[in-house]
Amino acid sequence: MTNLFSLEGKTAMVTGGIHGLGMAMAEGLAKAGAELIITNNVQEPLDTAIEQYKKAGFKATGYAFDVTDEVDAEKKVAEIEANHGKIDILVNNAGIIMRVLAIDMKVEDFRKVIDVDLVGPFIMSKLVAKGMIARQSGKIINICSMMSELGRDNVSAYASAKGGLKMLTRNLATEWAKYNVQVNAIGPGYFATSQTAPIRVDGHPFNEFIIGRTPAGRWGDPEDLAGTAVFLASDASNFVNGQVIYVDGGILATIGKPSNE
């Protein structure tokens, strides 16, 4: 059973894996034995993140490029494959969000969110899958969201992209399953990260809302995502394809927290 979840000898690329949930998933993959390839569009925070990985005892290399630039991304993927031999696992984690009411959102900003959150994963999947198909083996993990299923104020572009990413996951799985390439997704709920720290305080309305809305009664810990990432990256998920696994403490399972009834 341990071998079923082992990632020894595997190389995992995590886009945008420089902090938060991306780093938590990357660390989970590394603990299971994977060598890490971490990407970001800016060099300095990437260098800082790579030092953190190395201090933790993980084998990690950083590559700076924009996942929405197909020409640059193609060059970098070729360089990575030349340097590391292959990419066994791709985690499409890089993403942005702009919280603006739809009525006020500029079209260029809407397009930017779609470009990073949906077109970027398409570009990276297309490029990396070529090697996976040739080897008849590979795992692609897209990072969706509860906004792949639900709407919220101020996030029309993000929800549109994440809804599209759910369907991209299903379509790529349909096309590539015959090559033994599994394409799945993780949909995180609300997690305790540095970005959410200012609102995760007693008395804050959103903090009370999340705790009250989540059947588990708490924010997620970033490490809660690691097991799901390892599962989808390992042989344990070889017959799982086109699925979105929501790691949300039960939010999507109910219209209200059962303990409130």
Distance between CA atoms of 11 and 27, rounded to whole angstroms? 13
158 annotated active-site: yes
Six-digit token pair at 74? 């193609």
Task: Classify residue 9 as left (phi > 0), alpha (psi -120 to 50) or beta.
Answer: left
Q: Which of 53, 63, 158, 190 is catalytic?
A: 158
The residue assigned the tokens 């470009």 is 115
Alpha carbons 214 and 138: distance in angstroms, whole number: 34
Closest CA to 14 of 85, 97, 80: 80
Rounded CA separation 178/259 (Å): 45
Question: Which residue intervals of the chain are DSSP H helices?
Answer: 20-31, 43-55, 70-84, 107-114, 120-135, 156-176, 205-213, 226-233
Output the six-digit token pair for 59: 């084998």
Instruction: Give the angle subtended at the CA of 55 by the CAs of 54 and 58, to the nearest 5°.
Output: 40
Tell me which residue has tokens 């890490």: 36
Q: Which residues, other chains included, contact 160 with Cβ-Cβ below 8 Å and sequence gap of 6+?
A: 110, 113, 114
The position carrying tokens 């399953």 is 177
Task: Identify the three-state secondary structure at position 159.
Answer: helix
Residue numbers annotated as active site: 158
